[in-house]
């Protein structure tokens, strides 16, 4: 809330400074997840599946305590191995696109 009698220009500068700082933080966060394209030749495709107990919400027990509800879910991971032996985890779409012996563009 603004204090009565505060100069209008001071109010605007405070909001602009906060907005500017927020944009700088947002840009820094986005910069860490940007894609650095890399082209590899696929030597092998590997798919793994595991069972995980995933949180689904909260429930109240008979004694009144709150506990996390969990249910089993199959989690899949998709990996490709480059000719140099380096393995890369890729999303399902890239895994389906990948063909052994052919180049594949991935994000690093």
> pLDDT (tens digit, 9 = 90+) per residue, 89-105?
999 999 999 999 999 99
Helix (H, G, I), strand (E, B) or coil at 42: strand
pLDDT over 80 (residue 4): no
- Give the Cα separation of 43 and 80 in Å (integer): 7
Strands 66-82 and 37-60, sheet pairing:
antiparallel
Reported pTM = 0.59
User: DSSP code of 92?
Assistant: H
What residues does each domain of the chain span? 35-107
CATH topology of domain 35-107: OB fold (Dihydrolipoamide Acetyltransferase, E2P) (2.40.50)
Residue 23 confidence (pLDDT): 55
């Amino acid at each position: 809330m603004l204090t009565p009698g505060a100069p209008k220009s001071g109010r605007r500068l405070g909001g602009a400074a906060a907005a500017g700082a927020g944009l700088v933080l947002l840009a820094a966060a986005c910069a860490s997840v940007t894609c650095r394209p890399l082209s590899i030749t696929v030597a092998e495709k590997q798919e793994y599946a595991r069972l995980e107990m995933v949180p689904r919400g909260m429930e109240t027990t008979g004694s009144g305590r709150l506990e996390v509800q969990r249910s089993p879910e199959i989690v899949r991971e998709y990996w490709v191995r480059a000719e140099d032996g380096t393995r890369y985890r890729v999303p399902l779409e890239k895994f389906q696109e990948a063909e052994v012996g052919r180049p594949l563009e991935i994000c690093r």
